[in-house]
Amino acid sequence: MSTINDIAKQIKTDSFQLSCLSNEVRNTALKEISRALLSNQSKIKEANKLDLEKAVSAGLAAPIMKRLKFDGQKLSDVVAGIESLISLKDPLWNTLLERELDAGLVLKKVTCPIGVIGVIFESRPDALVQIATLCLKSGNSAILKGGSEAANTNKVLFDIIHDAGIRAGIPSSFLTLIENRSDINELLKCHESIDLLIPRGSNEFVQYIMSNSKIPVMGHADGICHVYVDCDADLQKAIPIVIDAKTQYVAACNAAETLLVHKNIAAGFLPALKDILKEKSVILKGCEETRKIIDCEPAEEKDFETEYLDYILSVKIIDSVDDAILHINKYGSHHTDSIITENQESAEKFMLLVDSAGVYLNCSTRFADGFRYGFGAEVGISTGKLHARGPVGLEGLVTYKYKLYGKGQIVADYAEGRSSFHFKDLK
Amino acid sequence: MSTINDIAKQIKTDSFQLSCLSNEVRNTALKEISRALLSNQSKIKEANKLDLEKAVSAGLAAPIMKRLKFDGQKLSDVVAGIESLISLKDPLWNTLLERELDAGLVLKKVTCPIGVIGVIFESRPDALVQIATLCLKSGNSAILKGGSEAANTNKVLFDIIHDAGIRAGIPSSFLTLIENRSDINELLKCHESIDLLIPRGSNEFVQYIMSNSKIPVMGHADGICHVYVDCDADLQKAIPIVIDAKTQYVAACNAAETLLVHKNIAAGFLPALKDILKEKSVILKGCEETRKIIDCEPAEEKDFETEYLDYILSVKIIDSVDDAILHINKYGSHHTDSIITENQESAEKFMLLVDSAGVYLNCSTRFADGFRYGFGAEVGISTGKLHARGPVGLEGLVTYKYKLYGKGQIVADYAEGRSSFHFKDLK
């Protein structure tokens, strides 16, 4: 039996065939995949039913059950995602720069696939479809490892997508499913074959991947997002935004975990907010100043470092927009943070100095999402600063190479003054 | 005394002040630095003389001595580099995307500094000037650790640049010099303060950095560059290109280490090449087929994996452009590889499928360099595929953030169908 390392090596070797496929061939395959998903709807539902039954007997929590469920709605969503992916411009072989360095010596910077991408994700079978199709559109080979809770659904979805791709003329190695949890550690060692890892899951899980592989990792370990209600905030906007950021989907990485409130408006704002949050069953944890205004649990230092992913919100009263920025840069996770203010100067200061992938004015942190940004789909959200930051769509799945077209030029002629560069951008 | 961790934390906190400086302020500081370097020429020479004397008594090799020397020519070069840097467009706060997601909800993707960059480099004092000025132009704080051989020169250059920057109104934390080798390991642990590491040095040194830090690393461990002379090559071009790629500067990462020759032209090409390489004192190591044509040392498997950085060239005869591509992708380091051919189809195939930062047609691999690409300067060459690939200039030193401007929008309205996105690109 082949080891994961052998498999990854073979995928790497074969991956270059994918690079040669035209956008038309890749789009035709995406159409075939979309058709195949729709025509195999009952098979998918059956497999999903098995996973859901297992989850019930294992007593899995409601949020996991919700993510695990792959119903007609989720199928429509992923099919709509594929359609929008087909309509997106080809991300490959675009010329980013074309520069004549000297007569007959032309440099081109062109986009190309990254190569082989390993994606490790938990419990959401719709993520498998999104990731597989994003990788195909961008000419990358994908190695997928899904959560064991969704094993049956994942296997059926993989087979449908893989078969459809092959029918449309895509090399078989474009998509590989790994089913054993023990294979993850083998995968992490394949830094010679795998170009990028995208882990999607819990903080501990992502941290583990980041600490145990030489392969570059794109993603986020946690999402400690803030809403800062400034002294110049319109409270009519602030209340619904805080409610939405906290409660619209508590298990999301872009949900707010901490509310910062300017001292000048705290007394007017917090009691009203508390009443509405109570209706939504949100538990408040406040700093000392907060607890002078409203009755709530005390927030400790560690609360401000915690991603609750639950109906809990920590609250801190602060003195200025500068203090809000300092707090966020210290305790946040560089994900998404929002300021509520009518003061343009404070807004721009916040958006300039908060060191996060998303800096928002007068809207909910929950907008941080590839679909909502109009990217068609996303492979995940990155809190790193290199390559791709924030929601990662097709653009984050390509790199570039420099092509230099010469007619026999050598560096010695330039170093010794017989020739010289003139740098003329042709594009 | 402050630990490296404390120092790095303070630099991180202060780094946001740098973000706020206008391009004009940053350029004025660059001008001041350029002036200060010129007016302190004798001080720099004195310090460099000390380093050179120490190097002589330590018996350092000639290539190191050459890199270590900071004479009038090198000073003119770095000053010219600063002038060209000043003339480059501001890399910060450029809008890469401006999209209306819905009425009154506008997404902007804007460039911004990465933050704090740690650069660890060996023996070349001119690198200190280049890196410090590139980081300043791109609004990044830099922590520098130079080679101990150049300690005196580095200290003087640092003082001149640091003082000039402060005189021009740049916060003191923009540049920090670390002088003890033992501090490197402390620096590698500062993943909460340092956003990016750029190591420049030997293979072992770069590998060590990559394996011992959670901080993302940009750079290259080795440069095993190839020249492939195709059956359709113009040998009048091939010979000077091979000579240049191998001998113009053997210690460079973009010098060729392996020559691949198509079997059909080997008998006509290799004897002529051998004579010229002999004049340049290049030792050839050939595969079995090569040794049937010319007399040379045998090349073993490990030769094709070796970066000689010396007057040695391994030679292999191969059957086709496909085999050349396979060999390069297997043994190369994804740096820069060149094909010599008049056959357009073979050229395009090679440039499509060779998995390297630079893929060249009919020119020397030695062109892989930020200056020669017209980037003004470079912080290094990256063989990674994420963020920046190939020679890294200003562009590789910036990231971006998403700014979302709302008027009170919440996600629940979109999730529950009361509002919908319309995605209209404004720019």
Closest chain A CA to residue B400 = A389
Quote the CA–CA distance of B232 and B236 in Å, as a whole number: 12
In chain B, CATH 3.40.309.10 sits at: 225-362
Q: Would the CB atoms of A360 and B406 count as touching at under 8 Å?
A: yes
pTM to 2 decimals?
0.92
3-state helix, strand, coil in chain A (%, to 5): 45, 20, 30
pLDDT recorded at residue A403: 97
> Average pLDDT, stretch B207-217?
88
Which of A115-129, A288-302, B243-257 comes out lowest in average pLDDT?
A: A115-129
pLDDT recorded at residue B89: 92
Pair A260, A275: CB distance under 8 Å:
no
pLDDT recorded at residue A1: 63
Q: What is the pLDDT of residues B128-142, one digit of tens each?
A: 999 999 999 999 999
Closest chain A CA to residue B385 = A399
Give the one of B216, B326, B358 whose C-beta lies nearest to A402's C-beta: B358
In chain A, CATH 3.40.605.10 sits at: 4-218+379-401
Give the one of B19, B20, B359 whose C-beta lies nearest to A403's C-beta: B359
A123 vs B289, more confident: B289
Quote the CA–CA distance of B40 and B284 in Å, as a whole number: 46
Q: Would the CB atoms of A329 and B16 count as touching at under 8 Å?
A: yes
Q: Would the CB atoms of A16 and B353 count as touching at under 8 Å?
A: yes
Q: What is the pLDDT of residues A144-190, one digit of tens each?
A: 999 889 999 999 999 999 999 999 999 999 999 998 888 899 999 99
CA dist B320 → A13, A274, B338, B350, B386 (Å): 17, 73, 15, 11, 31
Q: What's the distance, Cα to Cα, between the start and end of chain B in Å?
A: 51
Alpha carbon of B171: minimum distance to chain A alpha carbons (Å) = 16
Alpha carbon of B114: minimum distance to chain A alpha carbons (Å) = 7
Q: Would the CB atoms of A408 and B248 count as touching at under 8 Å?
A: no
Q: Which CATH number fits domain B4-221+397-401: 3.40.920.10, 3.80.30.20, 3.40.605.10, 1.10.150.20?
A: 3.40.605.10
Alpha carbon of A56: minimum distance to chain B alpha carbons (Å) = 27
pLDDT tops 80 at residue B123:
no
Q: Would the CB atoms of B360 and A234 count as touching at under 8 Å?
A: no
> Average pLDDT, stretch A402-412?
97
Other C-beta atoms closer than 10 Å to the C-beta of B97 total 16
Q: What is the pLDDT of residues A251-263, one digit of tens each?
A: 889 999 999 999 9
- Residue type at position B136: L
Best residue in A102, A350, A410 for a mutation probing chain B (most B CBs within 10 Å): A410
Q: Would the CB atoms of B400 and A411 count as touching at under 8 Å?
A: no
- Residue type at position B151: A
Which tokens hold the place of A368? 């941080």
Residue B1 pLDDT grade (very low, low, confident, very high; cuts 50, 70, 90): low
pLDDT recorded at residue B409: 97
- Parallel, antiparallel, or unpaired for β B225-229 and B336-340? parallel
Closest CA to B30 of B115, B159, B136, B158: B136
ipTM for this prediction: 0.93
Q: Would the CB atoms of A403 and B351 count as touching at under 8 Å?
A: yes
Q: Which CATH superfamily is domain A4-218+379-401 in?
A: Aldehyde Dehydrogenase; Chain A, domain 1 (3.40.605.10)
Which tokens hold the place of B382? 């990256």
Quote the CA–CA distance of A363 and A238 in Å, as a whole number: 9
Pair A187, A121: CB distance under 8 Å:
no
Which tokens hold the place of B356? 């390297």
Which tokens hold the place of A154? 């994942």
Q: Would the CB atoms of B406 and A362 count as touching at under 8 Å?
A: yes
Quote the CA–CA distance of A69 and A126 in Å, as a whole number: 9
- Alpha-carbon A383 to chain mean position: 9
What letters, b where the CB count within 10 A reaches 16 and e where it falls short, cover A364-377?
bbbbbbbbbbbbbb
Q: Would the CB atoms of A409 and B367 count as touching at under 8 Å?
A: yes
| Complete DSSP assignment for A66-112 | HHH---HHHHHHHHHHHHHHHHSPP-SS-EEEEEEEETTEEEEEEEE
Chain B contact set for A358 (CB, 8 A): 401-404
In this structure, CATH architecture of domain A225-367: 3-Layer(aba) Sandwich (3.40)
Quote the CA–CA distance of A385 and B111 in Å, as a whole number: 11
Pair A394, A91: CB distance under 8 Å:
yes
Q: What is the pLDDT of residues A306-348, one digit of tens each?
A: 999 899 999 999 999 999 999 999 999 999 999 999 999 999 9
- Parallel, antiparallel, or unpaired for β A116-121 and A196-200? parallel
Give the one of B210, B385, B408 whose C-beta lies nearest to A241's C-beta: B408
In chain A, CATH 3.40.309.10 sits at: 225-367
Give the one of A20, A249, A407 whose C-beta lies nearest to B362's C-beta: A407
Quote the CA–CA distance of B142 and B115 in Å, as a whole number: 9
Q: What is the pLDDT of residues B148-201, one digit of tens each?
A: 899 999 999 999 999 999 999 999 999 999 988 888 999 999 999 999 999 988
- Parallel, antiparallel, or unpaired for β B95-102 and B105-113? antiparallel
Q: Would the CB atoms of A20 and B114 count as touching at under 8 Å?
A: no
Quote the CA–CA distance of A74 and A58 in Å, as a whole number: 23
Other C-beta atoms closer than 10 Å to the C-beta of B2 total 9
Chain B contact set for A402 (CB, 8 A): 357-359, 368, 373, 389-391
Q: What is the pLDDT of residues A220-267, one digit of tens each?
A: 878 899 999 999 999 999 999 999 999 999 988 999 999 999 999 999
Residue A156 neighbours by CB under 8 Å, 6+ apart: A40, A43, A44, A46, A47
Which residues are registered as beta bridge partners of B283? B312
pLDDT tops 70 at residue B330:
yes
In this structure, CATH architecture of domain B225-362: 3-Layer(aba) Sandwich (3.40)
- Parallel, antiparallel, or unpaired for β A196-200 and A175-178? unpaired
Q: Would the CB atoms of B386 and A196 count as touching at under 8 Å?
A: yes
Give the one of A357, A366, A385 whose C-beta lies nearest to B195's C-beta: A385
In chain B, CATH 3.40.605.10 sits at: 4-221+397-401
